[in-house]
Structure 1
Amino acid sequence: MPLSAFLPRSLPAVGLGAVLVAAGCSPGGDDPSEPDGETRTVEAANGSVEVPAEPQSVAVLWRPTLGAATQLGHDVVATMGTPGQSGQGLEPFLPEGADADALTVVTNSPSEEDVNIEELANTAPDLIIGVDTQMGAQAEMLDDLEQIAPTVLLEWDGTGAWRGHLEEVAEVLDEPDRAEEAVAEYDEAVEEAREELSDAGTDPAETELSLVRLQDESEVRLETSASFPGQVVDDLGFARPDDQIDPDGETDFVPRSYENLDSADGDAVFVLTGSGYPEAPDTFSDGVWANLSAVQDEQVFHGDHDVWGAASYYAAHRIVEEVTAALTGEAEPAV
């Protein structure tokens, strides 16, 4: 089955990272945007880019790109992260056991606008892969990036773009077979999880699964089917509460006040917290949470939004594992 079959319906089957098969040899020279040796031409958001046919030192300027590149078997010499945070916030975008602290972080914050050009240049990449978002920060610094190495900007349309992003990065790195393997492995994990849930007496199609992110002291956000975790639980076949099926606006979440927390109810509820978000309450059995049927049925579970919002195949596998453990009785519910 082609990779395009796994793309969200809202994304084009062939993205801006599509590779032209043209290959040749560059004369090289002093211009870092013209690589030495055999090259390939990539069509990207920033036009046609001549890249090394076999890049050896890839820098990425978006954490989901880190996940995609390492999933495809490439070492990364530089990435963005959150200096000062444990593991720089990179673990959900890396294979299990990888040393996140060993990576060179070339941003001073999670913001894509905060690329440290000098630090990036010191890592001597032969290819830079960035993103062109609505903010457009990396597009504005393109001239500086191209002074370091050939730079490919890929479109990023939000956390739901993780599947298409893997395909586009695979096209840039000429790794279509590895991408197919990654998709097949995930698809197999989903099928195995559905069988395990069924064997435990849980029918996902008959089980409304609610995803609730704690945003601040006055607001929660309901993750819709357009969000990254929403897409993963949809892959598992779970029903969703009405408010979490189709987003009304451009966001992939629905804001709710605590006074309207009843709209976050479901047969099971995952409450997502993480770095920069409020902590979960000590108990869900009193206050505004107590009226939820999921609380009364002891079907409320914790989720780490640092993982559940990571928009990578690594994180998708983790979500599949955590949901399966919770709804087969292997994981303890929140108190």
Structure 2
Amino acid sequence: MLPTTPGRRARLLPLALPAAAVLAVSACGGGSEDSGGSAGAGASGETRTVEHARGETEVPADPQKVVVLEPVQLDTAVALGTVPVGAAMFDEAAGAPAYLGEEAADVQGVGTVPEPSVEKIAALEPDLILGTESRHSALYDRLSDVAPTVFMETQADPWQDNVGLVARALGDEEGAESLMDDYRARCGEIAEKYGTEGMTAQLVRPRDDVLTLYGPTSFAGSTLECAGFTTPEHDWEDISLDISPERALEAEADLVLVTADDVDDPEAVPPSVRENEDAFPELHTVDRSFWIAGVGPKGGMTVLDDLDRILEESDSFSAG
């Protein structure tokens, strides 16, 4: 199980909910009406009832053409072998993140994560759409007219819970649990290898005029904690906290990781941190594309591999 920390405000829930509450299979040839008024079924004609942020929706038992609107949905679908036909991206021009591999290279962009295009989604003729209530609430009815639509509550929920919902929508909870078991096992390997228990770690994302610190319920923060680290205590604003550059010393920890688009750029670490290098003896830059945006089983394993590399090269965390 993933470790918990005092002050964590969101409880990490198991991937699977009781089957009777989540899933019902019906062998109806034409599909069933979902909560938004659309109907759809996969190649088999069977449907399942999935409970989600908007209620219950009949989805294809075997969806063939899936469109996703969140990074965790794209990552999880690819990890489960259901490569979406379309996805909203943070940077549509850049396409799917490279860490997802060649299988995701042909995923079509359907707008940005904050502003997906219903027209582009409809053109792909999907049989299942996955989105998020907190970001896409105003689009739900229009999306449901295109295809059965399942919404997560919010992208700020514990990402493991959102992986579970995606897996239920795709009909592969067992596959998702296997992926998360591998993730937890990799965490344990790193914790044991480097003796991270009792050590602190902090991920920092520089923005225009602030430093964003990521807390224990964020994707990166929970992964660092899964690998044995503890996040320094702060008054977290949900999953993170913005501080001014003048307060950079509040990011102090045994291991400090600063996100960057180019980890080799000497200017990637902001001046407010560079000028206090004595306070950050273990300071490393990490790739923002998966430490921040790589939410999901594949992203988690990519972050853990990168963490293993960093600790292997560190003077403070030599393998025992």
> Above 0.5 in TM-score?
yes
Inter-CA distance 26–49: structure 2 relative to 1 (3 Å threshold): farther
Query: Following the alignment from structure 1 to structure 2, what is the Cα–Cα distance between the partners of residues 30 and 207?
Result: 52
Of 207, 213, 225, the match for 1:215: 207
Structure 2 residue 83 is the aligned partner of structure 1 residue 97: no
**Structure 1 residue 188 displacement after superposition:** 1.7
Counterpart of 1:121 in structure 2 is 122
Tell me, in whole angstroms, the C-alpha distance in 2 between the residues paired with 1:22 and 1:29: 11
Listed one character per residue, the Cα deviations across residues 204-227 of structure 1 (whole Å, up to 9, x for unaligned) are: 1232222221112x3212211122
Which residue, 289, 305, 309 being the options, matches 1:306? 289
Choose which of 51, 55, 61 in structure 1 pairs with 2:63. 55
| Residues 1:80 and 2:88 aligned together | yes
Per the alignment, residue 289 of structure 1 pairs with 274
Among 187, 190, 202, the alignment partner of 1:190 is 187
CA spacing shift, 1:188–1:169, aligned 2, 3 Å: same
The equivalences for 1:201-212 within 5 A come to 203-212=195-204
Equivalenced residues, count? 301
CA distance in 2, matches of 1:54, 1:324: 37
Counterpart-to-counterpart distance in 2, 1:287 and 1:150: 48
Query: Residues 22, 213 of structure 1: CA spacing in aligned structure 2 closer, same or farther, 3 A cutoff?
Result: same
Aligned-pair CA distance for 1:123: 1.0
TM-score normalized by structure 2?
Answer: 0.82
- Kept in 2: contact 1:23–1:40 (CA 8 A): yes
1:88-132: per-residue Cα shift (whole Å, max 9, x none)?
25334x2x33343x211111x331xx2222221221111112221
Q: What's the counterpart of residue 241 of structure 2?
A: 254
Q: What SS does the corresponding residue of 2:23 show, helix, strand or coil?
A: strand
Aligned CA distance change for structure 1 residues 153 and 293 (closer, same or farther; 3 Å): same
Corresponding residue of 2:253: 266
| Cα 1:239–1:25 shift into 2, 3 Å | same
Corresponding residue to 1:325 among 297, 309, 315? 309
User: Is contact 2:159-2:219 (8 Å) kept?
Assistant: yes
Secondary structure at the aligned position of 1:27 is classed as: coil
Deviation at 1:12, TM superposition (A): 5.0
On the 8 A contact 1:193/1:321 being kept in 2, the answer is no
Q: Deviations over 1:232-284 (max 9, x none)?
A: 000011133333xxx443x3222222222122122221111239xxx763778
How far has the Cα of 1:157 moved from its partner? 4.4
| Cα distance between partner residues in 1 of 2:137 and 2:276 | 48
Letter in 1 for 2:98: E
Residue 320 of structure 1 aligns to a residue whose secondary structure is helix
Report how far residue 59 of structure 1 moved.
Answer: 1.3
User: Which residue does the alignment assign to 1:200?
Assistant: none
Identity across the alignment (%):
28
Report the Cα distance in structure 1 between the residues aligned to 2:173 and 2:32, rounded to whole angstroms: 30
Residue number in structure 1 paired with 2:38: 33
Cα separation, partners in 2 of 1:206 and 1:28, compared to 1, 3 Å: closer
Structure 1 gaps of 5+ residues are 198-202
CA RMSD for the aligned pairs? 3.3
